[in-house]
């Protein structure tokens, strides 16, 4: 399944593209039913909120053939190759969940700074596809986007509070898990508030609402955030990030774990069948 020229132009101009009804109700039910099987107790792949609820499940394809097949589907890979203009490999794969009443926010940020600074990827030639497992809107933490902000490159970072002594000591004792500062609700590379305000005033803010089965393609440098989940119902979304095979990570001395950074740089073997 290929994107139309008009869809490609919209993505290049705005930094995102949303398509409704991309997956059927039956496919979404299969993925949602398989979700619990991706959660391994005490696994580093499972990132928790401060309240103990699950925030993210990384690399679900490590333990689930259903999720492995999903990442190789033609209707996801081919459009990504169109947008990146290159063959792609799987860089990162996760399920983000905002538990009812408990799901926390994601501050305004860009994804590429993490992949550039932490992983040594030189160019923002990555695209992320977000697949909605439930109906999603402002009430349960839909993604917020600033259109055209991807054209700014890496934006000025916002100032973060200095860690208190207790947290410093804790971090020193868990040096092997310093990557967690990129994954919790207090992420380390946020966009400066003035930058967000200026571009939002100029270009507006889009709430990426959609029914279950919707997909959202978005650029690695677009400003995005999401609010807490105020509803009593969970809001789960699958995020698959593809990278150009010509843009592989350069950080080989101190790489992040393989559940965060894909190590297979071969072009994806496309699966034409459904999941």
Give every CB contact of residue 3 below 8 A, 6+ residues apart in sequence: 11, 17, 79, 82, 83
- Residue 272 pLDDT: 84
Q: What is the pTM of this model?
A: 0.91
- pLDDT reported for residue 51: 80
Strands (E), 140-246: 143-145, 206-207, 215-219, 224-226, 235-244
Residue 28: predicted pLDDT = 98
Tokens found for residue 216: 């959202």
Torsion of CA 171, 174, 178, 179, to 10 degrees: -140
Sheet holding 215-219, edge to edge: 16-19, 215-219, 126-132, 235-244, 88-98, 54-58, 46-48
Q: How far is Cα 207 from Cα 167, in angstroms, rounded to an integer? A: 34
User: What's residue 186's pLDDT?
Assistant: 64
Interstrand relation of 143-145 and 206-207 (parallel, antiparallel or unpaired):
antiparallel
Distance CA 219, CA 125 (A): 8
Cβ proximity of 89 and 249 under 8 Å? no
Six-digit token string for 206: 């889009």
Q: What are phi and psi of 124, to 5 degrees?
A: -80, 45
Which residue, chain included where needed, has tokens 């080989």?
252
Averages of pLDDT over runs of 10 residues in the chain (275 residues) are 96 98 97 95 88 89 97 98 98 93 83 95 97 96 97 88 44 48 68 96 98 98 94 94 97 90 96 84
pLDDT score, position 99: 84
pLDDT at 103: 67
Q: What is the pLDDT of residue 175?
A: 42
């Amino acid at each position: 399944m290929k994107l139309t020229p008009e869809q490609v132009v919209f993505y290049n101009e705005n930094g995102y593209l949303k398509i409704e009804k991309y997956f059927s109700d039956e496919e979404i039910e299969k993925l949602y039913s398989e979700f619990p099987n991706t959660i391994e107790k005490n696994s580093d792949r499972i990132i928790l909120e401060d309240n103990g609820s699950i925030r993210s499940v990384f690399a679900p394809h490590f333990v689930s053939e259903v999720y492995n097949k999903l990442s190789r589907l033609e209707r996801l890979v081919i459009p990504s190759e169109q947008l990146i203009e290159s063959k792609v490999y799987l860089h990162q794969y996760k399920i983000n969940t905002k538990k009812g009443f408990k799901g926390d926010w994601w501050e305004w940020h860009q994804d590429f700074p993490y992949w550039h600074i932490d992983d040594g990827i030189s160019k923002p030639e990555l695209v992320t596809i977000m697949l909605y497992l439930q109906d999603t809107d402002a009430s349960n933490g839909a993604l917020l986007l600033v259109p055209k902000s991807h054209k700014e490159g890496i934006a000025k970072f916002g100032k973060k509070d200095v860690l208190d002594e207790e947290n410093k000591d804790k971090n020193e004792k868990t040096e092997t898990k310093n990557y967690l500062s990129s994954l919790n609700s207090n992420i380390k590379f946020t966009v400066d508030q003035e930058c967000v305000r200026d571009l939002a005033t100029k270009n507006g803010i889009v709430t990426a609402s959609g029914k279950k089965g919707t997909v959202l393609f978005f650029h690695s440098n677009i400003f995005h955030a999401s609010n807490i989940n105020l509803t009593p119902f969970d809001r789960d979304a699958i995020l698959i990030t593809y990278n150009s095979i010509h843009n592989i990570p350069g950080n080989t001395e101190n790489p992040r774990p393989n559940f965060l950074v894909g190590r297979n740089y071969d072009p994806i073997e496309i699966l034409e069948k459904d999941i």
